[in-house]
Amino acid sequence: MNSPRRIRSAVGAALAATLLVPLAACSGGASSGASGTYTFWDPYPQFDASSPWGRRVSTCGTQAGVKVRRTAMDTTDLANKAMLAGQQDNLPDVMLVDNPAVSTLAEAGILAKATDVGLSTTGIQKNVLDAGTVDGAPYGVPIGANTLALYYNADVLKKAKVDPASITDWASLTAALAKVKAAGSKGITFSATKTEEGSFQFLPWFWGAGADLMKIDSPAAVSALTLWKDWLDRGYAPNSVINNTQTTSWQEFATGDYAFGENGTWQLANAEKAGFEHGVISIPGAEGGAAPVPTGGEFVTVPVQSDTGRHTTSGKIVSCLVNDKNLLATDTTLSYVAPVAPVRTEQVKGNAALKPWVDAVAAARGRTSGGMDTDYPVVSEQMWTAVQAALSGARTPETALEAAQKTAASKRGN
């Protein structure tokens, strides 16, 4: 097992250059606190101690015989603080992290293998578990998964005489957008912002064209970026997508003016409040069928401690959080698809609207899977940089991706 002090400088530099933002200092809970107190970091600042999630974390600590001191922070903030805390031997006992960061933190020696801390991964959907697996070993347990699809406004489509079932590939989607615009409505909104959110939203089109993350300037990749650029040029998508986060993109769709909005499982509750008839279809591949979509969601992990005796209790806290009963409550609250079949079945029984999302997650790909591991953050940054350059008109899709591939290759050292 790696020591928390053995942080690999190259990996740390790559993470700091891509996924993370500068911080003045590291703060948060330390594992060296009072006896009987275990620290827990998560990316859910929207949930305070009195929320169902806050109470669940506290209860799992009680069941493990300890008190849990929870610190919630922004997703990127958490990953950055974890790197700094690892250097200072000041890591929390349990940490909930975004799945693309798992491989980087694991390679840096910050996370313990699931098997080393008594965590079972039996029954977990393989493609969901793969998002947190490095060299065949999972580092933690997924608490749930989400992904992307196309929400549609049924009223806008009816006005344009478009049947959502007719949208099976890029050509039929683009034809539908043309009809929507001709009928006086707006076409499609998505997020192309210069963060991981932009790459996350571009990946279904990138993969749907048959492109590979190891060569992001391939003709297939160029065709995906050209599709987005053409939509902007034709007025099928607004220029605001360049700065849209997934939240602001949803707010555009929720106005009722747009036919389609690319967004995720987490917007299900908001969709019910939108005030218009809506539905969900898969993002189509270039030549037909559903495009591969990226797996989103977090992993509950156990950071490496100098006092390895703490790992047993940390493992008990994690196991409590991901037992079937707690997974059902947590994933339903967060609009996540559970990573194990029995819980997914109960979720769909309780909410039939989750069925297309269960299917989408089943076909999703981990962003760090397929050997990408710690290369993914490097490639992702260059991908969203290329998308920004092309959509703004600073470069053509082809030259933007050529520059992105060159920079990504040099940073990866190949």
DSSP string of 8-36, one letter each residue: -HHHHHHHHHHT----S---S--TTSSTT
Residue 184 near residue 160 (C-beta atoms within 8 A) = no
Predicted pLDDT of residue 335: 86
How many CA atoms lie less than 13 Å away from 24 in the CB half-sphere? 0
**Which helix or strand (DSSP H or E) is residue 233 part of?**
helix 219-233
Strands (E), 37-179: 37-42, 67-72, 94-98, 133-134, 137-138, 141-142, 148-153
pLDDT score recorded for residue 13 = 37
Average pLDDT over residues 139-148: 96
**Model confidence pLDDT, tens digit, residues 386-409:** 999 999 999 999 999 999 999 999
CATH number for the domain whose boundaries are 148-293+374-412: 3.40.190.10
9-145+299-362: CATH architecture: 3-Layer(aba) Sandwich (3.40)
**Residue among 292, 316, 327 at smallest CA distance from 124:** 327
User: 9-145+299-362 with 148-293+374-412: one CATH topology?
Assistant: yes
Q: Predicted confidence band at 284 (pLDDT cuts at 50, 70, 90)?
A: very high
Q: Indicate the domain borders of the chain.
A: 9-145+299-362, 148-293+374-412
Q: What is the pLDDT of residues 170-227, one digit of tens each?
A: 999 999 999 999 999 999 999 999 999 999 999 999 999 999 999 999 999 999 999 9
